[in-house]
Amino acid sequence: MPNIPAADIVSLAWFVAVWTGYTWYADRVSRRARSLRAVMHVHRYEWMRRMLGRGDRIVDVNIIGNLLQSVSFFASTTLLILAGLVAILGATDKAIELVRELPFTGRMTLVQWELKLLVLIAIFVHAFFKFTWALRQFNYCSVLIGAAPGAGAKSSAGDAYALRAAEVSTLASKDFNQGLRAYYFSLAALSWFVNPWVFIAATTLVIAVLYWREYHSEALRMLRNR
């Protein structure tokens, strides 16, 4: 087995545990009123209810189009990043010599360098799958808007349809947010090239920022004040 320093193993284990733990926590409390996802779901449900009352749904189609454009941008960008990382992995010898010249990075073996690059590649592969699945779900939501009953539908049936469309939109948003979350954690993973203890600190800082934004931010407070 390659000789990997214990500090690298500990920092990577902390990174994986924190990321998976926060994802589990965010999904578990996502329907509570104090989370950003739960508040936005209420707004999505209201959007779909208003959509059912409109005869001309050009506004709703434009909104979905804007959402699709944002997700498509990140999916395309993720592919470019993956291509760059794979290219760096193929030129390992030159890249590692360049990094060794930087004063703030520690000495790395070839195994350490490749491990850190593979972790970055895995992060962006995860992000790509999340973005493309979010893209498909937003497409499904656009189909639901196109197939929505007219304004004369029964109130109970219309509310059930609006709730279903809102649920699909919320699921798409959840995967999109998880893709964005991968970008945040990739920034923390970059600090691993400096030092494993800096990696631990950066991972903890990313979690603190994400938690504050999703559960205690000013944006959340404004969105809850309806």
pLDDT at 1 over 60: no
List helix spans (H) across the chain.
6-28, 36-52, 58-90, 92-100, 110-146, 155-190, 196-215, 218-224
For the ranges 31-45, 105-119, 137-151, 170-184, the maximum mean pLDDT occurs at 170-184
Provide the CB-side half-sphere exposure for 102 (13 A, CA).
11
How does residue 102 score in pLDDT terms, banded at 50, 70 and 90? low
Looking at per-residue confidence, does 117 or 104 come out higher? 117
Cα–Cα distances (Å) from 219 to 29, 157, 223, in that order, read: 18, 33, 6
Tell me whether residue 63 is in a domain. Answer: yes
- Identify whether the C-beta of residue 112 lies closer than 8 Å to the C-beta of residue 8: yes
106 pLDDT band, cuts 50/70/90, is low
Burial class (CB in 10 A: 0-12, 13-18, 19+), 195: middle
- Whether 198 shows a pLDDT value over 70: the answer reads yes
Q: Give the separation between CA 126 and CA 107, rounded to whole angstroms.
A: 29
Categorize the per-residue pLDDT at 220 as very low, low, confident or very high, splitting at 50, 70 and 90.
confident
- Would you say residue 226 lies in a domain? no
Q: Check residue 154 and give its pLDDT.
A: 60
- Interior angle at CA 215, CA 122 and CA 181, nearest 5: 15
pLDDT of residue 147: 87
Residue among 70, 62, 72, 41 nearest 142 (CA): 62
Q: Which domain holds residue 61?
A: 6-221
C-alpha torsion sign, points 208, 213, 214, 215: positive
- Total of domains in the chain: 1
Higher pLDDT, 156 or 186: 186
Question: Measured between alpha carbons, how far is 74 from 128 in angstroms, rounded to an integer?
Answer: 8
Q: d(Cα 11, Cα 6) in Å, to the nearest integer?
A: 9
C-alpha R_g of the chain: 22
Residue 26 lies in a domain: yes
- Three-state secondary structure call for residue 57: coil
Name the band, by pLDDT with cuts 50, 70 and 90, for residue 201: very high
Over range 191-220, report the average pLDDT. Answer: 92
Q: In 10 A of CB 70, how many CB atoms?
A: 16
Q: Is 74 in contact with 182 (CB distance < 8 Å)?
A: no
Q: What percent of the chain has pLDDT over 90?
A: 53
Q: Which of 93-97, 120-124, 183-187, 191-195 has the lowest mean pLDDT?
A: 93-97
Q: What is the mean pLDDT of residues 138-158?
A: 81
Percent of the chain with pLDDT over 70: 85
Identify the three-state secondary structure at position 32.
coil
In a domain, 136, yes or no: yes
Q: How far is CA 66 from CA 50, 60, 157, 193, in A?
A: 18, 10, 28, 36
Q: What are 51-84's pLDDT values in tens digits?
A: 988 878 888 889 999 999 999 999 999 999 999 9
pLDDT digits (tens, 9 = 90+) for 17-55: 999 999 998 887 655 667 888 899 999 999 999 898 887
Residue 1 domain-assigned?
Answer: no
